[in-house]
Amino acid sequence: MIGKIVNFIGDSKNAGKLKKIGYVALVVTFISDFFVHREHAIYIWDKIPGWGAFYGFISCVLIIIISKFIGHQGGIMKKEDYYD
Amino acid sequence: MIDWVHPSILFILGACVIPFLRGKLQQIWLLTIPVLAVLSVYSMTQGSFWGVNFLDNQLLFGKVDKLSTVFAWVFSIMSCIGMVYALHVKDSGQHVSAYLYIAGSLGVTFAGDFFSLFIFWELMAFASAYLIFAKREKAATEAGYRYILVHIFGGVCLLGGIIIHSIQTQSIAVGPLPQDGSFAFYLILVGVILNAAVPPLHAWLTDAYPEGTVTGSVFMSAFTTKTAVYVLVRVFPGTELLVYMGTIMALYGVVYAVLENDCRRLLAYHIISQVGYMVAGVGIGTDMSLNGSVSHAFAHILYKGLLFMGAGSVIYMTGKRKLTELGGLYKTMPITLTLYMIGGFAISAFPLFSGFVTKSMVVSGAAHDHRPAVALLLTLASAGTFLHTGLKLPYYMFFGKDSGIRTKEPPLNMLIAMGMAAFLCIGIGVLPGPLYHLLPFPVHFEPYTGDHVTSALGILLFTGLGFFMLLKKLDPEPTISADTDWFYRKGSRVFMWFANKPLTIYENYLTNIYNTWFSRGVIKSSDYLGFVFDSKFIDGIVNGFARFFVGLSSELRRAHNGLIRGYAYCMLSATVVIIGYYLFKHVM
């Protein structure tokens, strides 16, 4: 069973189907955030529906771009034999 | 009757027996002790046990309260899982060191005084170092030496702080230190946060953990940093500095994980990131955030163990550890992939997985303590966690470009161990009640509220969207990342160059001056003095004697000239003297 699911996900023929499932999941998550009760909200952004989705996406993009910038421009990334 | 059994004693005695056992018998023994340890934790009652008077100090080996018990639970459970994972290993030395390592961490957990805490602390450092050396490769040996040197430095700071503290306060009891900013306070803090891998004292972790043996790194990922978190919760609750350090840690690990190509080093950077949450929680210091730190440490040990076991399985089966060399393993290792992903979901705090019910407590603790920036940055770091351990690593390891490697699932014991950890990751996530019940403070936190679930899912799924949109940017590169270990790796070379070049030249120059002016002068003057003494004094005496006897003997020789007349004079004069003496004595 596990093998079948994993093979389905890994097979490049199913990429289109997986993409569709992914988009549906994103839309469902985004929309469901509008319908939940927000009694635990402390800060202003906790009250904005869809904030999590927005913040998650922005975080991801920022982390990738800033890290790669630091890595390449900041001299953090070195050749593998750097310490040899 | 034995009222309390120290689980460390079980492991220490158990370790003594391991070298004498072989094969199945050894395997049974390896599993028996961890199970006994779990039972001893299960049967524990709170209180103080095993107090010993030593040099006017009260050593207390068994201080049992809720905080020590919850850590003892997870350490003993993880020792079971880790031992199942390492069951196929034939190297007794590794098993012994793993046992001593676990004994050290449990000893720290129950230590009621700073001195016994320190002893177990050092036991951990030295026992764990062997798990790196045991790989028996040049890189591992070098990393092992660096590891042990850094930990000796930390241990010295800790001991120094403990001694100053005990002199100042006349107390060695483990408890919250007064936040007076004293030298002892900061020395102990440095010693502890070094083990918690707080930047810039963290590089030993990412340097050593990827170099350890496949099974050894699983133990290492579980014990050292979490024992340090325990001590932080015990000794430094509410230390403001830790809030900032923890938040920086959480982000630091995430940034480096983007750049990392070695799979276990990537996971090691995420240990730093996750321990950042715990450190920040300790710094915030409210009941909720401390509960969050403790529960997150509990969950972290299990899911990080699972992730290290997953990555270790791939290394064990393929012999490769770089993401650039791996890919397409899903076809032959689907079970490993699935179990790894459970760990990945748990660390990323997906609903129904353990991270969701623990990490969110720290973030909520920050939010309730009016620290919006900390809460936002920690949330950002959790997006990064999913990005790396949940997406990047499994994508490039199991999917992505097919590396052509075809292998099998790892041995059954490894899969069972991963299954045990995965079961607990889901179990805690679905039913957080039992874990919450173990926590040191009463829990007033409900993880499964509608807005919490949807916002968490929103963060994670849209992180996934970002990942696939920027996939090309994330392709692993065959590089290594310079970190603060640069200072002692390159720094030692600078030191050696300094010692070999300028210092040697300077030293030679000084030696020359010494030889030319000082030594030569001393030798000459002592030669002269020796000559004078010899000829005038010693020779004077010796020659004087000689001359006297030579003179005397030549005079005597002159008397023996062989003339009868001479002898007759002698005899006559002697007769005159004898008669004269006689007359003088008796007649006069």
Using only C-alpha atoms, chain B has a radius of gyration, in whole angstroms, of 38
pLDDT at B1: 45
Residue B587 has pLDDT above 80, yes or no: no
Q: Inter-chain contact B464–A50, Cβ cutoff 8 Å?
A: no
Q: What is the mean pLDDT of chain B?
A: 90
Give the closest of A39, A46, A67 to B259, CB-based: A67
Across the interface, of B338, B451, B465, the residue whose CB is closest to A57 is B465
Q: Could you give the count of Cα atoms lying within 13 Å of A47 in the half-sphere of its Cβ?
A: 4
Quick one: DSSP state of residue B516?
A: I
CA angle B387, B388, B391 (to 5 degrees): 65
Cis peptide before B200 (omega within 30 of 0): yes
- Enter the DSSP assignment of A34: T
Distance CA A8, CA A15 (A): 9
Do the strands B57-64 and B47-54 form a parallel or antiparallel pair, or are they unpaired?
Answer: antiparallel
According to DSSP, residue B201 is labeled S
Residues B367-379: pLDDT tens digits?
999 999 999 999 9
Q: Could you tell me how far CA B132 lies from the centroid of its own chain?
A: 11
- B17 at interface of A, judged by CB pairs closer than 8 A: no
Residue B298 binned pLDDT confidence (cut-offs 50, 70, 90): very high
**Mean pLDDT across the stretch B66-85?**
94
Cβ contacts from A onto B, under 8 A = 169
Tens of pLDDT, residue by residue over B147-179, are 999 999 999 999 999 999 999 988 888 889 888
- Number of Cβ within 10 Å of residue B442's Cβ equals 10
Mutate: best of B137, B370, B463, partner A, most A CBs <10 A: B463
Question: Which residues in chain A have Cβ-Cβ distances shorter than 8 Å to B451?
Answer: 33, 36-41, 46
In this prediction, residue B588 has a pLDDT band, given cuts at 50, 70 and 90, of low
**CA pair distance B212, B86, nearest whole angstrom:** 13
pLDDT at residue B182 tops 80 = yes
Contact B320, B326 (CB under 8 A): yes
Q: DSSP label at B176? A: P
Beta-bridge partner residues of B48: B63
Query: B132 falls in which pLDDT band (50, 70, 90)?
Result: very high
User: Which contiguous run of DSSP H or E holds residue A56?
Assistant: helix A51-73
What is the ipTM, given to two decimal places? Answer: 0.94
Q: Residue holding tokens 């929680």?
A: B281
- Beta pairing partners, A77: B481
d(C-alpha B7, C-alpha B34), whole Å:
9
CA separation for the pair A31, A52 (Å, rounded): 12
8 A C-beta contact, residue B103 and residue B123: yes
